[in-house]
Amino acid sequence: MSESPELKRHQIELAGRRFTIRSDQSATRLEAMCNYINAKFRMLQEEGAGLSLIQQALLVSLETTEELFEAREVHEDKLARLQSHAHDLLERLERDDVEIEMRLANDL
């Protein structure tokens, strides 16, 4: 079985465990992602809650998903404001265009 050309093998470490994965992400991006997740694991361990690795992984997943949802909401809000602003500008341009056409028609 041949490996897909866009997927490369990478060695990563999460929560002190090494994994080999296939990904189309760059090694630099994967390292940054792993560092982010590992920092979350370290924070949980420093809190000393005595959670199992599975419990920690679930909490990290839930917290990261919450961050993703919040980022999406911010993005969607910004996009909606931008679309509204673009719509307002377009209406203004159309009104100005009509006024210019009327002035030109009156000048003739």
Task: Give, for 107, the enclosing helix (H) or strand (E).
Answer: helix 53-107
How far lies 51's CA from each of 19, 45, 60, 67, in Å? 22, 8, 12, 22
Whether the CB-CB separation of 40 and 63 falls below 8 Å is answered with: yes
pLDDT computed for residue 100 by the predictor:
84
Residue 44 CA to residue 61 CA, distance in Å, equals 12
Who's near 25: CB < 8 A, 6+ residues apart? 10, 33
pLDDT of residue 3: 53
Q: pLDDT tens digits, the chain, 108 residues: what are they?
A: 455 568 999 999 999 999 999 999 999 999 999 999 999 999 988 887 788 999 999 999 999 999 999 999 999 999 999 999 999 999 998 888 888 888 888 876
**pTM of the full predicted structure?**
0.71
CATH level 2 (architecture), domain 1-50: 2-Layer Sandwich (3.30)
